[in-house]
Amino acid sequence: MSKLLYPRSLFFISFFFILISGFAQTYAKNGMVVSDNEVASQVGVAVLKKGGNAIDAAIATAFALAVTHPQAGNIGGGGFIVYMNASGATTTIDFREKAPLAATSDMFLDENGKLIMGSNHKGLKSVGVPGTVAGLYMAHEKYGVLPWKELVQPSVDLAKNGMILTFTLATHARRSQEGASAFLKEYFKNPNGKLVDFGEVWKQPALAKTLEQIRDKGKDGFYKGKVASEIHKFMKANGGIITRKDLKEYTAVERAPMKGTYKEFEIYSMPPPSSGGVALIEMMNIMELANLDSIQFNSTAYVHLVAETMRRAFADRAEHMGDPDFNPEMPIEKLTSKEFAQKRYSNIDLERASVSDSTKFGQLYDGANTTHLSVIDKNGSAVSLTYTLEYSYGSQLGSPKLGFIFNNEMGDFNPQPGYTDRDWLIGTDPNIIKPGKRMLSSMTPTIVAREGKPYLVIGSPGGRTIINTVFQTVLNVLEYEMPIHKAIEAMKIHHQWLPDRLIFETHLMSPDTQKALEEMGHTLYGRSNLGRLMGILNSTEQGVFIGASDSSSPDGAAVGY
């Protein structure tokens, strides 16, 4: 590869493309990658051109995002892959982070057994054992075709030789100088101590060396040897609890996907420890029962119905969902059945908002900075991959010798056993902290099939809003036959049972609708946007792949060939 993958001469053309890519569709015949960063998408497409399949391209893109999209792209976090090959066979890979072996259920509580507010998201004790490298390596071992080194090398080149700092990252760099961790304050500086600015070359030599270990030694390059030793030393010196043993014993897991149907479509998504697939299928089942021909899209009646559907699915996931290796009796088949959906739909009052009751169910809490990529190759095999650091830039902590940022995913566990309130705390047992347990997630990487072939590849960041933004986008495509870019850009809402409020996109919902919903008993809360979706539609009728990157992702892009 060239020393500067993103040369200055192409920068402004690329920047213009980024500005319009979220509002338009990208068409390709041979393959496509959609991610939160154009350079990372280009890396993935280059792999497809070399004969790599969708898994290969997803791996290369994910490693590239660890360099170009550090607020969420990572080797210090974890996530999920949903993979469907060209013949329709589907599987998933779970590389969610785990609680360290020294973790305890009361590790974030004070002497009175109350949560020390913020403690489960701050400091090195908030870091779960990272799973990204193990998950990508397992995906490659089982389903990749190109050599591992060829998939990691582009990210090494980007870190070592540098990339042009985007306006988004330059803004983050400036903000990091005020109130951020000491590590993050130095993160965007050159070796001479100068903060890198918009349009300048940003090099990450420490990260390049870490990626070289992964390139040369595979999974062991992260979980054993030099990198693992430095993680252990850094944790021990700074109050963390992750050890060499935690790293050595970490394993990714291949799991059967969640499978549901909506009319003639088949929906495949992530099973627990993600709650996304279960909730998505439950909500699609409920909406399938509604007479949507009589309810105008985005009308007050429509928004109310969608919000009430969300409320029920989130109450169910709060009560029942957790790591399946620690909760073998979760009622997954019941929650995703058509019969259960009929019961849930039958108690929706189409004229009045329900009341969420914290004495009967729990509620999840999740971070808001994740990233998603979607890939499809020339043979029609597809990957939907979502991974995360939890918060934007995770814990904001990392060893300067390693150059990557650790997650703060321990905050996704229920921190105070047995205590649930009307705001955000939940204390139900399935997601209580235990050593080696994976924390519950909202990530919802999804592939929809039609006639046994990949049709829609979709996913989003957004923490606890992920499930609902994916749900509405899937519904927009399958029920309303929207083009992928319009399905992504359409107004989204979010209800998660507790807190009992309906979140809406401020500039997309009319004041009249807001007023009508309030009169129905909803409490409204406006936000600038919900989700940051990355999607691909496989249009077999036209013989093309159609991709779109959410306009809320300033650096995102759909790239195809």
Give mean pLDDT, residues 289-306. Answer: 97
pLDDT over 60 at 203, yes or no = yes
pLDDT digits (tens, 9 = 90+) for 1-53: 333 333 333 333 333 333 333 458 999 999 999 999 999 999 999 999 999 99
pLDDT over 90 at 60, yes or no = yes
| pTM of the model as a whole | 0.94
Q: What pLDDT score was predicted for residue 191?
A: 85
pLDDT over 80 at 369, yes or no = no
Are 127 and 410 in contact by the 8 Å Cβ rule? The answer is yes
Domain extents for the chain?
A: 25-84+92-254+371-431
3-state helix, strand, coil in the chain (%, to 5): 40, 20, 45
Q: What pLDDT score was predicted for residue 253?
A: 98
Q: What mean pLDDT, rounded, does the chain reach?
A: 93
Q: What pLDDT score was predicted for residue 15?
A: 35
pLDDT over 60 at 262, yes or no = yes
pLDDT over 90 at 423, yes or no = no
pLDDT digits (tens, 9 = 90+) for 99-155: 999 999 999 999 999 999 999 999 999 999 999 999 999 999 999 999 999 999 999
Based on the residue annotation, tell me whether 420 is a catalytic residue of this protein: no
Give mean pLDDT, residues 228-232. Answer: 98
- Centre a 10 Å sphere on the Cβ of residue 542 and count the other Cβ atoms it contains: 11
| Residue 200 or 16, more confident | 200
The partner residues of 35 in beta bridges, in order of sequence, read 557
Give mean pLDDT, residues 533-545. Answer: 95
pLDDT over 50 at 295, yes or no = yes
Length reported for the chain: 561
Task: Single out the catalytic residue among 61, 370, 446, 469.
Answer: 370
Q: What pLDDT score was predicted for residue 12?
A: 34
Are 137 and 424 in contact by the 8 Å Cβ rule? The answer is no
Q: Which residues contact 371 (CB under 8 A, 6 or more apart)?
A: 35, 36, 65, 69, 71, 72, 73, 386, 387, 388, 461, 532
Between CA 126 and CA 120 the distance in angstroms is 5
Q: What pLDDT score was predicted for residue 6?
A: 34
Q: Is 230 exposed, middle or buried (0-12, 13-18, 19+ CB in 10 A)?
A: middle
